[in-house]
Amino acid sequence: MEERHTGVSTVDQKIYVAVTGTQHYYGADFLKPGQIVHLIKDPDNPHDHEAIKVDMIPLGKIGYVANSPHTVPKGCRSAGRIYDRFEQHVCGMVRFVIKDTAIVELTLSLEEVYIIKTTENVAFSPCRQEELGKK
C-alpha cells in the first residue's frame, strides 16, 4: 500500500470519521449524503487538545469529530488518529447519516466553490486548505 505525501489517505484505503455533538448545534436532520463539510483543528478547546470541529458553510460549527472510544463507530478513525495528518483544515464529504451522527469521508482532492453575487460583479472563491487554515 503506497502512502501519499499528504498523509490524509492512502491509495487503497478511505478514511472515515464520525461527526458527533450535532444535537448541541443544529441537529442532524439537515445532513444528507454528498454534502461538503470542513474539519478544522480546535487547539484552544478546553475539553480536548486534539479536538477537530466540523463546520458547514454557511452555518458554521455543526459538531466535532468523535474522539472517545464510546463515540467512535467501528470503521471510523478518532480525532486523535487523524489530528497530525493535516495542517489546519481538510474537507470531507458526508457519506451516511445515522440518527444524530454523520459519517464523513476525508479527502484532499475535494474543493468547494462559493459564488458571491454583489451589485457590481460575481466573484469566485475556492475553498482551499491553506486559505481556511489562516482563519
- Summarised one tens digit per residue, pLDDT across range 22-54 is 999 999 999 999 999 999 999 999 999 999 999
**Domain ranges within the chain, ordered by starting residue:** 16-110
**Could you report the per-residue pLDDT of 49-89, keeping only the tens digit for each?**
999 999 999 899 999 999 999 999 999 999 999 999 888 99
Distance CA 101, CA 65 (A): 10
What grid cell was written down for 108? 484532499
What global pTM score does this model have? 0.74
Which is nearest to 76 in space by CA: 21, 13, 33?
Answer: 13
CB 1 within 8 A of CB 13: yes
Note the CATH architecture for domain 16-110: 2-Layer Sandwich (3.30)
